[in-house]
Amino acid sequence: MKKKGIFIGVMAALLMVQLGVLFFYGNKKAGFHEDEFYTYYATNKTAGLFVNDRQWMAREEMRNDFVVLPGERFRYDVVKQMQSWDVHPPFYYYVFHTACSLFPGVFSKWLGIGVNLIAFVISYMLLGYGAYLTVTQKKFDSFGERLEEERKGRIIAFLTCLMWGLSGAVISGVMFIRMYQWLTLFLLLCLDLHLCAVKREDFRIRSFLLPLSVTVFLGFLTQYYYIIFHFFLGAGFCIWLLKNKKFRELAGYVVACAIGFVGAVAYYPASLSHIFRGYRGTEAVSEFSNISNTWERLRFFYDLFDDFVMNGTLSWWLLAICLLGLGIGYARKKEGRKGSVLNVSTGLQIFACGGYFFTVSKTALILGETSNRYQLPVYGILLFLLLYVMWELIGQTVEVVKRAPDARIMFGAFVVVILLTAGLGLKNGRVFFLYEEEKDIMTYVKSHSEEPVVVFYNDASPDNIWRLSDELMEYEKVYLASQGNQEAITDGIIVQSDRLLVYVADYEDKERCLEGLLQVNKKLSDYEAVADKGMWTLYEVYSKEK
């Protein structure tokens, strides 16, 4: 009990350190991905945002659609309806809307980060517990062997959580105000339920089947990728049940999964159209059926894991595992012994992660470093498998040369390697979704919040205006103007102002829009770019006598 208490204390201390790191990066986050703006809008919509050519939009008109107003708290029916019109299930948005409802009128990155921090803490505990369960799965021949395996289980759990929580991809996942950290939670919960059932051979309704149904229900309603992971994990689990002739347990398992899935579809019928007829569903099917892109896509997501989790060291880990495995295999064959570093639990995880990684790699959007989000839920499991196999092979290699492995030395070496890998990765900028370059722009915007603002949008993509949402909320009002409308602007404020701030969509006629302002306002004579905004450029239009 004393060792268990020490272990819990050490894991809690590690969690506090990692939360400190997350708060550090949360404080650095200065801008938003366009999907993050959608999270706020789709969760808290009041009247809907409309682009009206040659009209002013007041600050409140925009801000009110990104925050919960006092009379609009806990409107889960509206949240559900909004998601049914898009391609996502609603559970994450329920959680986010609850957080926003507790702070009505507030637009803050910390609402989104805070929701993700809750999922991170739960995922941390589930990941550590799953690692411990896997290592300590087998039945022990002696009390000493049980104590040794429990110690190893705690060590592997600590190392897994250490490497996972300090990786750039996981920190980025917490910074990204979307549903993927919550998807991670439900994938790990699903895994732990299966690991507990395997270890304890407990398949009762209260302890396994009912929690499993609830997990299927909530996981499916968080992100549709959940069902991919559960499919492969469930397939492996069913094979294990069949192998052990547990036919009654197999029937109960299938029924429990079906109840959770059918219940989710019955609650949210739009899910079927999202998966089979929605634009993302049809794109995914098209990509999956395209055999020619398989290697390219697998290599892309392999490189993401290598770069943003392993800091370019994955090939060395895999090489070491192969060499150690060959060496151990040769030594055992020479001595006439058999054995394996794997067990039922690790086999289930390899099968589930392999199936998930392959399927998601074939179907997910290719969006550069931000595509990490799609594989993020299995990164912790992949790290555990790497660490566990490496630990076992090193330990067995030491035994082969007739020396008892020193767990303290091995533990210290692993900690040093992990900290160096994580530290160098963070130093090399492996955390994204921060948009730190936006900090200076927002400072500029806030210092000019009372000046007239013109937004020239492209007719073909007026929705891109909402990529500027955090900035446009700072101005008293903004004037919306179509780039396709070539008539002169006659608004009194625009034609009489001594200075204007102008956002222009990055298309061919940017210069024409700016020159048109100079023609209608004789006080203005020149302009210069202040900031590049991806699809936009912010200009200051002024008189040379300014």
Q: Residue 238: is its pLDDT beyond 90? A: yes
Residue 545 pLDDT: 67
Cα(398)–Cα(406) distance, integer angstroms: 9
Residue 72 pLDDT: 92
In the chain, what are the domain boundaries? 2-30+108-427, 438-542
Q: Residue 546: is its pLDDT beyond 60? A: no
Question: DSSP 3-state assignment of 479?
Answer: strand
What does the DSSP 8-state code read for residue 473?
Answer: T
Cα(356)–Cα(483) distance, integer angstroms: 45
Residue, of 289 and 472, whose pLDDT is higher: 472
Q: What tokens appear for 74 in the block?
A: 């806990």
pTM for this predicted structure: 0.95
Residue 25 pLDDT: 98
State mean pLDDT over 26-34.
95
What does the DSSP 8-state code read for residue 179?
Answer: S
Residue 10: other Cβ atoms inside 10 A: 12
Q: What tokens appear for 375 in the block?
A: 């594989």
Residue 37 pLDDT: 94
Residue 339 pLDDT: 62
Lowest mean pLDDT among 181-185, 221-225, 244-248, 285-289: 285-289
Residue 486 pLDDT: 87
* Per-residue pLDDT tens over the stretch 106-157: 999 999 999 999 999 999 999 999 999 999 876 665 666 778 888 899 999 9
DSSP 142-183: SHHHHHHHHHHHHHHHHHHHHHHHTSHHHHHHHHS-SSHHHH
Query: Based on the number of CB atoms within 10 Å of its own CB, is 294 exposed (0-12), middle (13-18) or buried (19 or more)?
Result: middle
Mean pLDDT of the chain: 92
For residue 534, name the pLDDT band (cuts at 50, 70, 90).
Answer: confident
Q: Residue 34: is its pLDDT beyond 70? A: yes
* Per-residue pLDDT tens over the stretch 475-529: 999 999 999 898 999 999 999 999 999 999 987 778 899 999 999 999 999 999 9
Query: Based on the number of CB atoms within 10 Å of its own CB, is 233 exposed (0-12), middle (13-18) or buried (19 or more)?
Result: buried
Cα(528)–Cα(237) distance, integer angstroms: 63
Residues in the chain: 546
Cα(21)–Cα(169) distance, integer angstroms: 13
Q: What tokens appear for 1 in the block?
A: 């009990």
For residue 47, name the pLDDT band (cuts at 50, 70, 90).
Answer: confident
Residue 148 pLDDT: 80
Residue 69: other Cβ atoms inside 10 A: 16
The identity of residue 266, as a single letter, is A
Q: Residue 332: is its pLDDT beyond 80? A: no
Looking up tokens 């109960």, which residue turns up? 252
DSSP 58-114: EHHHHHTTTS--GGGTT-HHHHHHHHHTTTS-SHHHHHHHHHHHHSTT---HHHHHH
Residue 131 pLDDT: 96
Cα angle at 381 between 375 and 385, to 5 degrees?
Answer: 125
State mean pLDDT over 210-237.
98
Residue 336 pLDDT: 62
Q: Residue 330: is its pLDDT beyond 90? A: no
Residue 141 pLDDT: 57
The region that residue 248 occupies, defined by phi over 0 for left and psi between -120 and 50 for alpha, beta otherwise, is alpha
Q: Residue 38: is its pLDDT beyond 70? A: yes
Residue 136 pLDDT: 87
Question: DSSP 3-state assignment of 310?
Answer: coil
Residue 499 pLDDT: 93
3-state secondary structure 268-301: CCHHHHHHHCCHHHHHHHHHHHCHHHHHHHHHHH
State mean pLDDT over 392-400.
82
Q: Residue 340: is its pLDDT beyond 90? A: no
Residue 139 pLDDT: 63
Query: Based on the number of CB atoms within 10 Å of its own CB, is 209 exposed (0-12), middle (13-18) or buried (19 or more)?
Result: buried
Cα(79)–Cα(95) distance, integer angstroms: 10
Cα(65)–Cα(78) distance, integer angstroms: 13
Cα(418)–Cα(162) distance, integer angstroms: 8
Do 341 and 413 contact (CB within 8 A), yes or no? no
Lowest mean pLDDT among 164-173, 256-265, 407-416: 407-416
For residue 45, name the pLDDT band (cuts at 50, 70, 90).
Answer: confident
Cα(255)–Cα(232) distance, integer angstroms: 17
State mean pLDDT over 391-405.
77
Residue 452 pLDDT: 95
Do 132 and 156 contact (CB within 8 A), yes or no? yes
Classify strands 477-482 and 526-532 as parallel, antiparallel or unpaired.
unpaired
Residue 165 pLDDT: 97
State mean pLDDT over 454-470.
90
Between the alpha carbon of residue 385 and those of residues 7, 22, 346, 382, 389, the distances in Å are 21, 25, 7, 5, 6
Residue 140 pLDDT: 60
Residue 403 pLDDT: 66
Q: Give me the half-sphere count of Cα atoms (radius 13 Å) on the Cβ side of residue 76.
A: 10
Looking up tokens 């404080």, which residue turns up? 27
Cα(146)–Cα(155) distance, integer angstroms: 14
Question: Where do the DSSP E strands lie in 122-220?
Answer: none
For residue 351, name the pLDDT band (cuts at 50, 70, 90).
Answer: very high
